[in-house]
Amino acid sequence: LAKEEGRNTFRFHTLHLQQESRERNDMLLRLRRAIRNDEFLLCFQPIYDLRTGRIAEAEALIRWRRPDGTLVPPARFIPIAENSDLIIDIGEWVFRKVVAVLQDLRGSGLAEDSLRLTLNVSPRHLMTRDTVQQWLSHLQRADVPAEALTLEITEGLLLDGNPATLRKLQAFSDAGMAIAIDDFGTGYSAMSYLKRFPIDYVKIDRSFISDIETSDHDKAITEAIVVMAGKLGLKTVAEGVETDAQHAMLRDIGCDFGQGFLYARPMLEQEFRVLLAQQQAAA
Ligand code: C2E
Ligand code: MG
Ligand code: MG
Ligand code: MG
C-alpha cells in the first residue's frame, strides 16, 4: 500500500509540475502579447519627507490591465517574468515610461527640480544587459537629468557581487541617479555592503513597519537601521506606513521618508498630477 501510495504521489507531483510549467508558459505568452498590445500601465505612489510633509519622490509600480479589464498586481506576473528575458522587455518599458512621465511633469511645471521618480530594477536586467549608455542617452534626449531618477534594487544583487553588475550600478550612480535598497531587512542585510556600494537610500521593509507598535523587536530593528544608515550618510524610507501611530514613531526615530497607505495609495498618473498641483497650490 505504501508503495502504491508513493507511486501515486509521484504521479501526482509529475502532473502537478507539468501543469505548473504549462501555466507558466501560458503566462509568458500572455505577457509577451501584453507588451505588444500595450496592456501595462504604471501607478505612482508618493513618498513623503517626514520632516516637511511634502512629496519628495514617487515609486513607479507596474500593473497589467487584461483585455477583459481586470487589473493584475505585479506579484502575480513579475516573479514569472523574472525567470525569463521578458523581465528585460518589461524593465525597458518601465524605464521609458518613467522618463516620459518625468519629462511631462517637469515640462508642465508640476514637478519641482527636486522631485524624483523611483523604479524597481530586476537583478536579471542589470546582470544581463548593459543599459547604462542607452539609458543615459535616452535621458539626455528627453532632457531629463539623471538626478531625477532612483533605481531600486534588492540586497541579493549586491551580495552576488558580480563585478560587471557593480560597475553598471556605479556608472548609474556617477551619472547622478540615486540607488535604493528595496525591502531592506528581509534578506541578509549585511551592513558592510552599504558602505562598499554606491547606495543612497535604504527602504525598510513593510514587515518591520507593520509591527513597529506592538513588537519591541521590530521597533529596535527599525531604530537600528535608521541610526546605522544615518551614520553611513544614507537616507531611510519606511515602506507600508498605514497608521498615525506608525508615522509618529518613525518620525521620532528619525526616519527620513515614509511611503504607505496612510499617506496615499499607488495612483494613476492623472491622479498623481492632481496631487502635485494641490501641493503646489497649498505652498
Ligand atoms: P515593492 O517595490 O516593495 O513595492 C511596494 C509595494 O508595497 C507595492 O505593491 C505597494 O503598493 C505596496 N504598499 C505600499 N504601501 C503599502 C501599505 O501601506 N500597505 C500595504 N499593505 N502595501 C503597501 P505592488 O505595487 O503590488 O508591488 C509589489 C512588488 O512588485 C514591488 O514591491 C516590486 O518588487 C514589484 N514591482 C512592482 N512594479 C515593478 C516594476 O515595474 N518592475 C519590477 N521589476 N518589479 C516591480
Ligand atoms: Mg520598490
Ligand atoms: Mg519595497
Ligand atoms: Mg517591500
Cα–Cα dist 258/58, whole Å: 11
Instruction: Tell me what pLDDT residue 189 has.
Output: 67
* Mean pLDDT of all residues belonging to the chain: 92
Q: What's residue 146's pLDDT?
A: 98
Nearest ligand atom owner, CA of 75:
1
The minimum-distance atom of ligand 1 relative to the CA of 261 is 18
Residue 125's pLDDT is 94
Output the residue whose Cα is nearest ligand 1's atom 22: 240
Question: Which residue owns the Cα nearest ligand 1 atom 25?
Answer: 61
Cβ < 5 A residues, ion ligand 3: 182-183, 239
- Interatomic CA distance for residues 21 and 28, integer angstroms: 10
The Cα 176–Cα 200 span in angstroms is 11
* pLDDT over 90 at 157, yes or no: no
Say if residue 2's pLDDT is above 60: no
Measured in angstroms, how far is the CA atom of residue 154 from the centroid of ligand 4?
A: 10
Q: Which ligand is nearest to the CA of 240?
A: 1
CA 25, distance to chain mean position in Å, is: 25
Three cell numbers, residue 228: 546605522
What phi and psi values does residue 268 have, to the nearest 5 degrees? Answer: -70, 160
pLDDT of 119 over the 90 cut: yes
Output the CA angle 205-49-132, nearest 5 degrees: 70
pLDDT at position 5, please?
Answer: 65
Give the number of the ligand closest to the Cα of residue 206. Answer: 4
- Kindly report the protein residue whose alpha carbon is nearest to atom 27 of ligand 1: 74
d(CA 115, CA 117): 7
Cα–Cα distance measured from residue 219 to residue 223, given in angstroms and rounded to the nearest whole number: 6
∠23-29-31 over CA atoms, to 5°? 100
Q: Centre a 10 Å sphere on the Cβ of residue 20 and count the other Cβ atoms it contains.
A: 10
Nearest to 255 by CA among 241, 240, 237: 237
Q: What is the mean pLDDT of residues 173-193?
A: 88
Tens digits of residue pLDDT in 57-87 = 999 999 999 999 999 999 999 999 999 999 9
Which residues does 258 contact at the CB level (< 8 Å), separation at least 6? 47, 48, 50, 237, 238, 241, 247, 250
CA of 43, closest atom in ligand 1: 25
pTM of the model: 0.93
In tens, the pLDDT along 6-58 reads 667 767 777 788 888 888 889 999 999 999 999 999 999 999 999 999 999 99
